[in-house]
Amino acid sequence: MIPPGLRLMNLNGVKGFIFDLDGTLVDSRLDFDAMRRELGFPEGEPILEHLQTLDDPDAVARAWEVVEAHEIAGARAATWMPGAKELLMSLRELDIPVAILTRNMREATRIAIEALGIPVELALTREDCKPKPHPEGLLRIAETWGLACGELIYVGDYIFDLQAARNANMIACLYLNERNHIYQEHADCVIRAFEELSPRR
């Protein structure tokens, strides 16, 4: 078990930061359990993965409408997580590259970024690459930056975030909340607050 608040031993060696969006940088108030109930999906089943098992084109279309409506509403209601804006601004001042990788849709991601003024120039969504835990998005970001995966950290709040980071050979950082303690063993580091990731330069 990794103790909460573990600091990276070589944080100053990290050359780029990648973040999940919902539940990490922003609170979009997305209720995935409510979404599953509305869709009639099994409890606890990942929504995107279950969608891929549907055979009826009409059912698929209706399901996507529900998912996208929830995501757009969440993006419009999104607020910063405590300390996230300050961390991103400090990284920007230090000219450290920052990106977002999310399983969200592109339009909802754009809405949240523009509404909150998130200082990030690169954001990949499920429409841009295979969704997490597949590492494609993280690998594309590393290639775009021209940096080695081992020099990058990916911060998220869910098991798919940690698995994607591990699959890409990046540092997997869990942003701890009251519901995700069970994922600590899959993380390279665990933080309770974004101040713990502030670079010392």
| HSE-up of residue 169 (Cα within 13 Å, Cβ side) | 8
Per-residue confidence of the chain (201 residues) as pLDDT tens digits? 444 444 444 577 799 999 999 999 999 877 777 778 878 888 877 887 777 788 788 888 888 788 888 889 989 999 999 999 999 999 999 999 999 999 999 999 999 999 999 999 999 999 999 999 999 999 999 999 999 999 999 999 999 999 999 999 999 999 999 889 999 999 999 999 999 998 764
> Around Cβ 101, how many Cβ atoms within 10 Å?
30
pLDDT value of position 5: 45
Strand order in 122-124's β-sheet? 122-124, 98-101, 16-19, 152-156, 171-175, 189-191
Decide if 173 contacts 166 (C-beta within 8 A).
Answer: no
pTM of this prediction? Answer: 0.85
Q: Are strands 122-124 and 152-156 parallel, antiparallel or unpaired?
A: unpaired
pLDDT value of position 201: 46
The reported pLDDT for the residue numbered 59 is 80
CA nearest to 101, candidates 73, 122, 78: 122
Q: What domains, with CATH codes, occur in the chain?
A: 11-27+79-197 (3.40.50.1000), 32-77 (no CATH)
